[in-house]
Amino acid sequence: MHALIPMLGIVLRLAVWLLLAPLLPGIINKVKAWVAGRRGPPVFQLYYDLAKLWRKGVVMSSLASPGFIAGPAIAWVALIGAAMLMPLGPVGCAVSFPGDVLLLIYLLALARFCTVWAAMETGSAFEGMGAVREVSYAVLAEVAIIAAVLSLSVETGSVTLVTMLSPSLGAGAVLLAAGIFTVLLAENCRVPFDDPNTHLELTMIHEVMVLDHSGPPLAVVLHGASIKLLLFTVLLVQAVLPMREFTVLGAVGVLAAGVLVVTVSVGFIESLLARLAFRRVPLLLTTAILFCLFALLVAWKGGVE
């Protein structure tokens, strides 16, 4: 009986990630519609889309290899693995060990690699163009992520996510929040870096890589993207809020409220800003790197003193 309790906890945690993740894009679209004075799609629209795509067949190009199907599936599994490493406030995480933050970074990189791999397997010039753009910007985004992780590691003296993501509210929290939030927008293909609703091939980044996907593989891609958005949102909230100072119920409420605030903020930013020209995207990502590096310097100086 005692052996079943940890398994039940893992299943419940997995259900939370799988079921709640598609809610975030719905909230963002609702905020955008509200700002524009429209009624907008239902908050649960992505759930309806996923159910519809899952019932449809798969259309494949004669040029596509098995990697076209395997890529999204492996990327989805990698994102689920990364989510299971991410602590959920006082509830903790499913799997924890020293250095698990490195595995988290590698799983995110694996998911990106598989998405790019599947895009390249189509033999489409457009999808190859999107893959090149994705990888080019990822070089800068990953530097910012590593700088943010180093900042948390120096501040807490640990390389375990459970310990790293429950710090006291330090002086570098604002810098770290700005840096991680900018990376969140870039990694999840949101405005001003990308526009998930655009259908103009010459301006697309992520969307152009999944143009040829249909049916269940497209459902896996969309669900994986929502899990990644929730993962970065939870990371941002826990990186800057002192979760240890709340009771269990209080921490769960603060985490849920923080996720909602970040999600609504993304909706407002997408409503008030325009998509950046490609030549300005590296400049904004460099700014995110500087925010995280300054947060690292603040954490290091605090540790020295």
Model confidence pLDDT, tens digit, residues 94-131:
888 999 999 999 999 999 999 999 999 888 888 888 88
The predicted-structure confidence for 201-227, as pLDDT tens digits, reads as follows 666 787 788 888 999 999 999 999 999
The predicted-structure confidence for 33-50, as pLDDT tens digits, reads as follows 999 999 999 999 999 999
**What's residue 166's pLDDT?**
75
Q: Please determine, for residue 79, whether its predicted confidence score (pLDDT) is greater than 90.
A: yes
Q: Please determine, for residue 142, whether its predicted confidence score (pLDDT) is greater than 60.
A: yes
**What's residue 263's pLDDT?**
96
Name the average pLDDT for the chain.
Answer: 89
The predicted-structure confidence for 230-245, as pLDDT tens digits, reads as follows 999 999 999 988 887 7
Q: What angle do CA 17, 269, 208 make, to 5 degrees?
A: 65
- HEC sequence for 241-276: CCHHHCCHHHHHHHHHHHHHHHHHHHHHHHHHCCCC
- The residue assigned the tokens 């896996």 is 220
Report which of 130, 200, 167, 190 is spatially closest to residue 303, judged by C-alpha positions: 167
